[in-house]
A and B are shown apart, each in its own frame.
Chain A
């Protein structure tokens, strides 16, 4: 028998190849060895020498690094003397040489074998849903809150996090905070308190966060911008930013009174001798120079400036705009005119994550095995039954491919969604199979067209029944809707037509 590779079968093959690329990359990442830098302290020695988040360390001082154990073994005891130590990191084809008295301030993790991301209800992490107490926030207010919170959590060293504004079917807006893996013990405190902001000169408080002292923080393009970028000796680029804040009259007076007694800075005569120190939750986050013109003046508009640096202009520009945004949100922090309430808080331990994935895979295989037996019995034809199983596997593979491509986190609802899709997918293939065997007076093409009419009906009913779930419950069950919709759509557009052609091949 000659197998006719039709256009539809080719589409399936191409989709499978693209999914392989999406899941494993090229060359496949499961072949890569090394450890991944997941987080690095900004402005640390390691950062300045060029180590960056996302790089893969393959060798340290000539030793191959294949696991976290190799990584910690290669650095063990190295920095105990307190002397400057030389360490050579091999990253890809290049080498980074580090001279430091301390171990590099980086956090590394094992390389994942696929691009698939699992949800935190499987691999562990924390998730909180936050609302204002006694106040319905607009989407814009929630967006601001999300910005402020994200900056604040960054200040506390939590970097692998997602802070998003979300809404639900009844028009409520929430802030969703998701933190991968490690969860700080005081997360509840961190989230429910808004953060205390203080600006001090010496020991005296000039203004604190909140509407009483800071009337507004300018974030429009005229009053908040990056003014200049320059290359300095040593090849590093610096970009300066500037934005305006408006103080209340009371705090403007206070500012005048405090600065009146300050002298000029001898080293830097453009500025005053003391700096304006910004504290968030009693932690110094920034020190700003005060221009000499401001000495003793009652001014409600204060211009705040700073800079960002990088190895090229683009990096410096990005770093400056990030820094500006950070400062702006710090200034707004504490000025939220409402109290926050945590309405959902899940902290899931990563302990059983791996085992859970294993159990899911076992469940999937056993279910497949059971289904295969029934199909073999009902169908009694080896080739077409095999085609059913192959098509269902392709469907899972393509769903996973799309999930990697859109960087969707596969949580429990998403997995339930994939399972449903496979169920309905197999059902529809059974329809095609049975229709192709019945009504022998019709041509195979006509028989399969009839099967498709039934399948299209089933597709549209399932599709419309999934749509409301996308919004229900602040999007916590969105995963189910997403994977199911992807699954049934891939089914109707790619795998089912290809399956029909495979069956035509077998029947003819």
Chain B
């Protein structure tokens, strides 16, 4: 009796799944539509796909390795320059302020002068770091990163078609990778995160990560054997969820540690966590439902 119980439970879930899986599909469709509309409005308003940070619009990041009174600095800077942003770096354990980071559209030498006046000492290699990107370069940089993502996506699509050689299964894998990227982009914009060039790489990483589980699922479902489709999806789900959860866990823990230290890595990790979470949804609802529908319709 006790051994039969899980089997019954599994069958019960299987029956519910058979009954409702097409309805489940409504959820990703609504999400996808919402994302498309949101991004459409966003693009119309900002003439761009993301909020860009200094590394993509041109300007400087200055890191001062000293204890600086943020309030005073903010007051001084708002008097002298319009648009700027200040962040602090803390020690992981003692929570002591280690450095401040100032973002501005000014060039390195311009902001240096203003900061030196405020601090009362010279900024050099011993006490500060300057990262300046000219607006010409950052513009072309951004364009190229978009091209790189586009080419990457197309290459990925071609490889997926070569692997599966069937339109619907290949298309669904590509669709769910696309949905991952689009939904992540939408959430990143809703949260108002300003993207850097490194953040854009994270989207590229997302292509690789999100396709992994989709390929796993589709390969398992297309296998010709006696196993029922629900069982195939369930087995793939067990493996795929372990994969995604380990990734999310690793990235989250790494984010907690490097967060205060490196804005670059922190942004990559944040985008990955969002993307991987959407991937769970897109692989196991979008991709799984469509492939089940396809296989049942074609009685494969």
Contacts and interface: CB of A to CB of B under 8 A. Distances in A.
B145 A472 contact: yes
A279 B267 CA distance: 49
A171 to B, nearest CB: 11
Nearest to A438: B235
Interface in A331-370: 341-352, 356, 359-360, 362-364, 366-370
Contact of B249 (A370, A412, A439, A457): A370
A299 to B, nearest CB: 45
A256 interface: no
Nearest to B220: A454
Interface stretch (A140-148, A158-166, A417-425): A417-425
B144 A349 contact: no
A461 B207 contact: yes
Interface residues of B, number: 76
Interface stretch (A74-82, A203-211, A287-295, A463-471): A463-471
A344 B222 CA distance: 51
B52 to A, nearest CB: 14
Interface string B104-148: 000011000000000000001111111111101100110111011
A371 interface: yes
Chain A interface bracket (under 10, 10 to 19, 20 to 34, 35 or more):
35 or more
B215 A349 contact: no
B41 interface: no
A472 B201 CA distance: 11
Nearest to B131: A346
Contacts of A439: 225
B153 interface: yes
B108 to A, nearest CB: 6
B209 A424 contact: yes
Contacts of A369: 253
A249 interface: no
Nearest to A374: B246
B255 to A, nearest CB: 8
Contact of B254 (A367, A435, A466): A367
B265 interface: yes
Interface in B88-114: 92, 98-99, 108-109
Contacts, number: 233
B212 A427 contact: yes
B125 A170 contact: no
A348 B129 CA distance: 4
A330 interface: no
Contacts of A323: none
B243 A431 contact: yes
Interface stretch (B20-28, B155-163, B284-292): B155-163
B219 interface: yes
Contacts of A42: none
B134 A424 contact: no
Q: Which 10 A-B pairs have the closest CB atoms?
A: A464-B155, A465-B152, A462-B208, A468-B148, A363-B257, A343-B134, A434-B239, A367-B250, A343-B137, A472-B148
11 contacts: A347-B125, A359-B258, A374-B249, A378-B242, A422-B250, A439-B225, A454-B215, A454-B219, A465-B152, A469-B152, A469-B204
Given A466-B152, A473-B144, 20 more contacts: A170-B140, A182-B125, A346-B129, A347-B129, A348-B129, A349-B129, A362-B92, A366-B253, A369-B253, A370-B252, A419-B251, A427-B243, A457-B215, A460-B159, A462-B212, A465-B153, A465-B204, A468-B149, A472-B145, A473-B197
